[in-house]
Amino acid sequence: MKLTSPEELEQLRTSILDAIDPDKLSITICSGTGCLACGCEALVRAFEKELKEKEIDKKVDIKTTGCHGFCERGPITVIRPKGIFYQKVEPEDVEEIISKTIISNRIVERLLYVDPATGKQITYEKDVPFYALQTRLILGSNGFINPENMDDYFAIGGYSALSRALFQMKPEQVITEVINSKLRGRGGGGFPTGWKWDSCRSAESEDGTRYVICNADEGDPGAYMDRSVLEGNPHSILEGMTIGAYAVGSNIGFIYVRNEYPLAVKNVNAAISRARSYGLLGQNILGSGFDFDIEVSRGGGAFVCGESTALMASLEGRVGRPRAKYVHTVQKGLHDKPSNLNNVETWANVPLIINKGAQWYSKIGTEGSKGTKIFSLVGKINNTGLVEVPMGMTLREIIYDIGGGIPGNKEFKAVQTGGPSGGCIPEHLMDLPVDFDELTKVGSMMGSGGMIVMDEDTCMVDVARYFLSFLKDESCGKCIPCTEGIKRMLEILDSICKGQGKEGDIEFLEEISQSIMNSALCALGTTAPNPVLSTIKYFRDEYEAHIRDKTCSAGVCKDLFEYFIDDELCTGCGRCRKECPTNAISGDKKEPHNIDMKECMKCGACFSLCRFNAVRKGSVEGVRS
């Protein structure tokens, strides 16, 4: 059915809302990539089967939705309208949920979330601290939408912002609204979105062609919020892009998405064809006379393609190498035409701003950074998942109040933000309000929103080496400072981690860093030294210990520690002996075991396996003495 006017859209919405029975029970099952990996498909089938068997399949809806964000507790099931929150649900639990909760309105207590801080069971989704402390403007919709069912998006007011923009606003007014909202690009740079649109609209184009592009090449390791939005609520991106296209005067858009995100590719493609069938993409959208369509382009798996000029080169079918930006892409971008590129999350904010107004939006957040930001809170953290908070919340609130702190009573060491271009922030800066400017001040950056928590078992020199080795592989090879500089820095870090570091290495790393920052071609290069510089700044003692004492206190750098068995704790159970791939462990049953250092290859299997914490790590010297 093609919608040919805003009235028809509203009529459709009314008919969808009228058909919804607010009291009808609905079982919502998260089917994002995280929960899929935990086997939620089998769970959905089990629910369907059980409802049929009990002959109540007409009375209860099953809704598969995008990511709810609390990935640590997947598969997640929410029973609406009450919002009963069950976590880690297995197909074996289905019968009980149906017979107790669905049929007799009782709670299955063993599936409830227990707040580790208070030890109390929590029944309702809205009361789970992980959710309660967030402001889920964008992610919140994920839990109510089946991405394959467009009616769900209409039901929450979908495409009303587009209709408003097309029929009640001039393109310039849309741009002014976005400028006034002070929305900044969520891809990492933090450039004011409205001003970018303005430059693109006023850029000269001989034949009038302009492009809008959605950057969904989410390459930062440890960040997956864009994937979740694309998978769970693809229409919000399409709507945002269409509004942006109307504002800058473009008729064709591209979504450049990683091929490693198959579900996102599938859901976005399906959403595009559905939007076309409703006349919300294509010619004469909603009868407004405005034409716009979107193509999906799958990336080839190159980190550098997240950089705008490289992405555009890739869209043209070429290798993704950045170019110098003497001429901005808003003037000459894709095929040398004015091109406006924004990140997934930025586009998702646009319908909100148009619907609720710049004034409302600019009240959220800090002076320089407005709105909310989605972070992927991962690594050594209890509540792994996606969290959406107003700009300006402190790291401590995010990590401890929402994230539930560090598992296993370990000590917090650092949090890494901004992906390979960012830095590591230490404990004493935990009260830092998180926004674009504050993070930059402490030597890190916002990036796309990865927040990787590290504990005492993480070696900061190894982390710096990890990022450099990542960047060395991903450097496109065009400019010398990045290609060669990163390689040389990595060699130095490698030697430090192997115990071959020497005095002056730290200073040399700093010197090369400065050269790269001053002379690399694109942002990938100029920010590449950040992980090294920030770890030197805050964890210099660890570098020095590696270089001078040849020790790695975290027990990560293989050449700088050895495994040994604590005689007093070892029960002689023999698990480690059986598991050791090189047969380096010997010992009689029920007698303390021993590791032969000559045979040990330090794979760590015994260490992670031992239930009595009898396998220990120590510095080479310490063990021998």
Partner 1 sequence: MQLTSQIPLDEVDNIVDSYDADKQYLIQILQDITSEYNYLPEQCLRRVSKRLDVPLSEVLEVATFYKAFSLKPRGKHLIHVCLGTACHVRGVPQILDRIERTLNIKAGQTSDDLMFTLETVNCVGACALGPVIVIDGQYHGQMTQTKVTKLLEKYTSARRGKDETDKS
Owner of token pair 């979330």: 113
Q: How far is CA 189 from CA 376, 419, 437, 487, in A?
A: 18, 12, 11, 25
Q: Which is nearer to partner 1, 39 or 192 (CB)?
A: 39
Assess 297 for contact with partner 1 (CB under 8 A): yes
Quick note: the x/- pattern for partner 1 over 453-472, rule CB under 8 A, is -x---x----x--xx--x--
Which residues make Cβ contacts (< 8 Å) with residue 393, sequence separation at least 6? 433, 434
Which residues make Cβ contacts (< 8 Å) with residue 405, sequence separation at least 6? 116, 381, 382, 399, 412
Count how many residues are written for the chain: 625
Separation of alpha carbons 158 and 589, rounded Å: 66
Assess 301 for contact with partner 1 (CB under 8 A): yes
- Site for partner 1, residues 551 to 610, rule: CB under 8 A: 579, 581, 603-605, 608-609
Assess 217 for contact with partner 1 (CB under 8 A): no
Amino acid at 340: N
CB of residue 601 to partner 1, shortest distance in Å: 9
Closest of 235, 394, 212 to residue 295, by C-alpha: 212
Q: Tell me which stretch binds partner 1 (CB under 8 A): 298-306, 487-495, 543-551, 588-596.
A: 298-306
Q: Is 412 helix (H, G, I), strand (E, B) or coil?
A: strand
Instruction: Judge whether 354 and 176 are in contact, CB under 8 Å.
Output: no
CB of residue 198 to partner 1, shortest distance in Å: 28
Which one of 27, 29, 68, 72 is in contact with partner 1 (CB under 8 A)? Answer: 72
Q: Is 394 helix (H, G, I), strand (E, B) or coil?
A: strand
Q: Which is nearer to partner 1, 201 or 593 (CB)?
A: 593
Separation of alpha carbons 9 and 154, rounded Å: 9
Which one of 146, 160, 309, 384 is in contact with partner 1 (CB under 8 A)? Answer: 384
Which one of 160, 236, 416, 534 is in contact with partner 1 (CB under 8 A)? Answer: 416
- H helices within 20-149, ranges in order? 33-37, 40-53, 94-96, 104, 129-132
Q: Which is nearer to partner 1, 340 or 458 (CB)?
A: 458
Number of residues lying near partner 1 (CB under 8 A):
61
Assess 222 for contact with partner 1 (CB under 8 A): yes
Separation of alpha carbons 445 and 453, rounded Å: 15
- H helices within 450-529, ranges in order? 460-474, 480-497, 505-519, 523-526
Q: Which is nearer to partner 1, 335 or 356 (CB)?
A: 335
Give me the phi and psi of 456, to 5 degrees please: -60, -20
Q: Which pair of structure tokens corresponds to residue 341?
A: 């590129």
Q: Which is nearer to partner 1, 41 or 61 (CB)?
A: 41
CB of residue 417 to partner 1, shortest distance in Å: 11
CA angle 297, 183, 292 (to 5 degrees): 40
Which one of 300, 357, 504, 622 is in contact with partner 1 (CB under 8 A)? Answer: 300
Q: Which is nearer to partner 1, 6 or 450 (CB)?
A: 450
Q: Tell me which stretch binds partner 1 (CB under 8 A): 136-144, 253-261, 439-447, 536-544.
A: 253-261
Which one of 316, 427, 567, 591 is in contact with partner 1 (CB under 8 A)? Answer: 316
Chain residues binding partner 1 by CB under 8 A are: 33-34, 36-38, 71-72, 74, 218-224, 227-228, 259-262, 297-303, 314-320, 335, 376, 378-380, 384-385, 416, 419, 450, 452, 454, 458, 463, 466-467, 470, 474, 476, 579, 581, 603-605, 608-609
